[in-house]
Structure 1
Amino acid sequence: MVRWFKDLTRVKAVGEAFRSLGVDGCLAFEELDKQLRVVKDLVDLCGVARTTYLITANSLVSYMLRFRGEEFWSLFREFTLKRCNSVNDFTEAVELVKEFTKAYNNLSLEFKLRRLDSLIKCRELFKPLEKGDLRSYVAQVARCLSSEPYSKTVVFSAKMSYYVFRVAGLKAYLEGVNIPVDRRVSLITLTSGMVNVGTQAYGVKELMNYVDVLMREPKLVVEVWNEVSKVSGIPPIVIDAPVWIVGGYLSFNMGREEIVKELINSGLGGRVDVNVLRRLIQELTYKT
């Protein structure tokens, strides 16, 4: 059994690095997220209401994927753009997501289809979204699906809803919405040194051995990033994009300066001070 230890000194260091980055810096990271681009394309062609229904429903069955996340959402965009204008209501949106799931997301298919059927019965859970109240949305969808409010897919659907609001220029209330705990977020939780195992594990290769184990403790991961949020003054769901993107680079075992250069070349140059960026990467990769 693995024993986990929180390092509050590291939590403070990571939080201060995010405070230096600021909300605007996090938003610049979000623009590198291909999922945001998918949302923009759907809002442009399908409209805000249809996109909200389609994106949230698909997010809630976005697990055990046959493709990498970026490819999965690109497939969803292509599939949906051709069909979304025939969607007239929430039920039809979920039915379209069921079609996509059968074609491209069919691992554990029966369970995913049951989850989507349950969602159809909970139409009222979208009422908080009409007001941009993501915290209430998370609570209601968790009840609807007999899940936990920190469940990865539940929180991820809130994040994607936030992207819809952001693209549409609408106000979303983000306080109280946790970070979605996936492999990348769990990896950064370890490489940052905010959560440590009983042994002195260092380096991406060694720490990767503990990622799946840590993912079984989502409440711990959520708790740590909520503390980072308090230090930085940035909502956890906004912190997610930098963490997720850097986690992707680390998964390919890229070094710190290599990550910094890649981020600058990807579009952060001129938008985020390079020293602030370098400090953030240093703190997130502290144990590599």
Structure 2
Amino acid sequence: MLAEMTTCLRDRGREEYVARLLRELGVEVVLELEEVDPQFEAAASLCRVLGLDGAVATYLVAVATYQLKCSGEVFWSRFSEYMRRVVPDKVVEGVVGFILGDECSSIQRQVKVGRVLKLSRYIGDVRYFISSCNFLELWKLTYRALNADANSKTVVFAVKMGYYGARALNICGGPLPSEIPIPLDRRVARATLNLGLLTVGSPEDVMRCRDVVLESWRDIGRSSGIPPIHIDLLLWALQNPNTLAKALRRVGRREEVLKALLKLVKQYGNTEDSSEEVH
């Protein structure tokens, strides 16, 4: 235990530096960038056909987005296309039908279906929380219904996808509550390591320091004014220069955000390549 505590040391100076850069960027710009997230685009295309059922469907299937046999982008594209084509009378049956039939979800398929069915018992509450933008309560309902860790990546991700659906329907516009954590996976672990927020040697070490990492990002979110769950999108974009360049063009605020974004990109050791991509 002592060795683990010694390993999981936060660099407060680096945290303050990252928080300052994010504060310069601002939460409104990050919210705009989310609209070019491929996952947001998939949710939006589904909601255009199914309305609120589309937002509920994206939330439900998100709890099954682990151990996929395809990329996340492919999974969401296939799910959106399937649901728009089938247009199920009952959204739960549509989600379960997709999981049972799609090759991306073949690993632990029945376990994934079981998670969806557990949440289906509270489908009325799910619809109400999404339609009323009460995502703090949706988060609590999710981890309690699944008997899961509140900080579980799939729990947090499901809430984010329900929020994306609500955003696409113009039900909600503001940021998510700061209490909801960043969905910690290897990508976020790698970003945490590269930004120097923890004095550890590898992404695996970061994952073993999960509680410390979540607290670090929670404090950065509080200081920057950007809730941790929204910082997730920015970390993803910074590791995908082509997508970052596309995002900057789409939101139409390239000059405003360029300086702060490039400062963050430098932390990944890809300054020259990333600059070329953005410009």
Identify whether the pair has TM-score above 0.5, normalized to the shorter chain: yes
Q: Residues 128 and 141 (structure 1 numbering): CA distance in 2 closer, same or farther, change over 3 Å?
A: same
Answer whether contact 1:179 1:237 (CA < 8 A) is retained.
yes
Q: Superposition pairs for residues 32-181 of structure 1, below 5 Å? A: 32-47=36-51, 49-84=52-87, 86-87=88-89, 92-104=90-102, 105-126=105-126, 127-171=128-172, 174-175=176-177, 176-181=179-184
Report SS of the residue matched to 2:199. strand
* Runs of 4+ with >6 A deviation: none
Q: Aligned residues, how many?
A: 258
Share of identical aligned residues, percent?
Answer: 29
Change in CA separation of 1:53 and 1:263 when aligned onto 2, cut-off 3 Å: closer
Cα deviation code 1:18-51 (max 9, x no counterpart): 111112321232133101110111111111x211
> What corresponds to 1:266 in structure 2?
246
SS of residue in 1 equivalent to 2:9? strand
Do residues 276 (structure 1) and 260 (structure 2) align? yes
Residue-by-residue CA offset, 1:38-77 (whole Å, 9 max, x unaligned): 0111111111x21122101100111000011111111111
SS of corresponding position for 2:133: coil
2:266 partner letter: Q
Aligned mates of 2:175, 2:101 — CA distance in 1? 34
Bigger Cα displacement from structure 2, 13-22 vs 162-171: 162-171
Alignment RMSD (CA, Å): 2.2
Describe the shift of the 1:40–1:277 C-alpha distance in structure 2 as closer, same or farther (beyond 3 A).
same
Is contact 2:62-2:161 (8 Å) kept?
Answer: yes
1: distance between equivalents of 2:124 and 2:215? 29
Q: Which residues of structure 1 form unaligned runs of 5+?
A: 202-209, 250-258
Q: Give unmatched runs, 5+ long, in structure 2.
A: 272-279
Normalising by structure 1, we get a TM-score of: 0.82
Secondary structure at the counterpart of residue 189 of structure 1: helix
Q: Tell me if 1:219 matches 2:208.
A: no
Is contact 1:135-1:173 (8 Å) kept? no
Q: Distance in 2 between matches of 1:218 and 1:27?
A: 26
Calculate the TM-score normalised by the size of structure 2.
0.85
Whole-angstrom CA distance in 1 between matches of 2:71 and 2:224: 30
- Where 2:36 maps in the other structure, the secondary structure is coil
SS, match of residue 190 in structure 2: helix
Post-superposition CA distance 1:156-209 (Å, at most 9, x none): 011111111221222366112211112211110111111121xxx4xxxxxxxx
Q: Contact 1:133–1:173 (CA<8 Å) still a contact in 2? A: no
Deviation at 1:213, TM superposition (A): 4.4
- Match in the other structure for 1:194: 197
